[in-house]
Amino acid sequence: MKITEKIDVRFPRTLAEALRLQAGEQTRGKLLAGGTDLMVQWAAGVPAPERATSVWNLPELSAIEMAPDAIEIGAGVTHAFLRDCVQIRRHLPALVAAAATVGAAQIQSRGTLGGNAANASPAGDTAPALLVTGGSVVLASLSGRREVPLDRFWIDYRKIDARPDEIIVAFRLPPKGRAKERFRKIGTRRAQAISKVMAASRILVEKGRIVSAAIALGSVAPTPVRLAQVEAFLVGKKLSPKLIDEAEQLAQATVAPIADIRSSAEYRRWASGRLVRDALEHL
């Protein structure tokens, strides 16, 4: 018998049904969306749980709502959907670019935005793009809904601010407006490679001056991070080659990456600066 067959997977048809299962300790299961992280972990020997609760295709997790102040994207929306959705691309281009770099076509068909965020890998590609929107995560449980700002959602290595009875239902993401967004990922090869470092940015320049700046990096810390120091340094300044040099150096000085199988600390530090430069050179 294959390892995943030891798991009692339940397939609720509605969010309400799933929330009821998750509310009780005896019925609660590991949440299973597209399974592109979990099924691999279980195949690779991570102990399988007794129970799992499938949230794949729950209608309440599949919706997209476009309001002027925020685009609400269901946690169950796949990377393939984001990759192909022209309207979302217009307002959240960095997120769409990030989704298009997750694995390859087969993984994008199944991998969800909620799964990528909840998996909370520092190398999760959509996290920096979510972070620069300044948006929030919507969580549901039987006791109601709550919203957590994304910059407080990833609390530690593979730890998120969600209770065991909660399910992520959506992400509320303010559109970029007149700002420019960019996403760049550095991996071993272009496709199907986990990132060594990646960056997302949302920067507004008016009359040559930086009005607002949000820059986030992945794979340089236990969680995805905003570069608050670099952002504060940039705001109010005139864009110039000298400013870009200084921002690059500041970025290198503020990150404290580690070495692992994918990259060295030195390379990650250097690449962090280059990615900040790249964002500023493309405004």
Partner 1 sequence: MSTIRRTWKINGKTVAVRFPAGRRLLDVLREDLGLIGSKESCGEGECGACTVIVNDEPVVSCILPAGQLADGTEILTVEGIEKKRVGRLIQQAFIEVGAVQCGFCIPGMVVSSYALLCKNPKPSTKAIREGLAGNLCRCTGYTKIIAAVKLAASRIPAAKRT
Ligand X SMILES: Cc1cc2nc3c(=O)[nH]c(=O)nc-3n(C[C@H](O)[C@H](O)[C@H](O)COP(=O)(O)OP(=O)(O)OC[C@H]3O[C@@H](n4cnc5c(N)ncnc54)[C@H](O)[C@@H]3O)c2cc1C
Cα 113 to Cα 88: distance, rounded to the nearest angstrom: 13
Could you say which of partner 1, ligand X, none residue 43 binds, taking C-beta under 5 to 8 angstroms by partner kind? partner 1
| Other Cβ atoms closer than 10 A to 215 | 27
Which amino acid would we find at residue 79?
Answer: H
Site string for ligand X, 56-95 (x = CB under 6 A): -----x-------------x--------------------
Cα 223 to Cα 128: distance, rounded to the nearest angstrom: 10
| First-last CA distance in the chain | 55
165 binds ligand X (CB under 6 A): no
In the complex, least distance from residue 115 CB atom to ligand X, rounded to whole angstroms: 2
Q: What are the Cα distances from residue 137, in Å, to 71, 72, 94, 234, 246? A: 12, 10, 17, 27, 33
Among 52, 139, 251, 255, binds partner 1 (CB under 8 A): 52
187, 165 in Cβ contact below 8 A? no
125 binds ligand X (CB under 6 A): yes
Structure tokens at 88: 């979302």
Among 31, 71, 73, 80, binds partner 1 (CB under 8 A): 80
54 binds partner 1 (CB under 8 A): yes
Q: Near partner 1 by CB under 8 A, which window of 98-106, 152-160, 206-214, 273-281?
A: 98-106
Could you say which of partner 1, ligand X, none residue 57 binds, taking C-beta under 5 to 8 angstroms by partner kind? partner 1
Strand ranges for 26-143 from DSSP E: 30-32, 51-54, 64-66, 71-74, 136-141
Please report, as ranges, the residues that interact with ligand X according to CB under 6 A.
30-38, 40, 55, 61, 75, 101-103, 107, 110-112, 114-116, 118-119, 124-125, 167-168, 192, 194
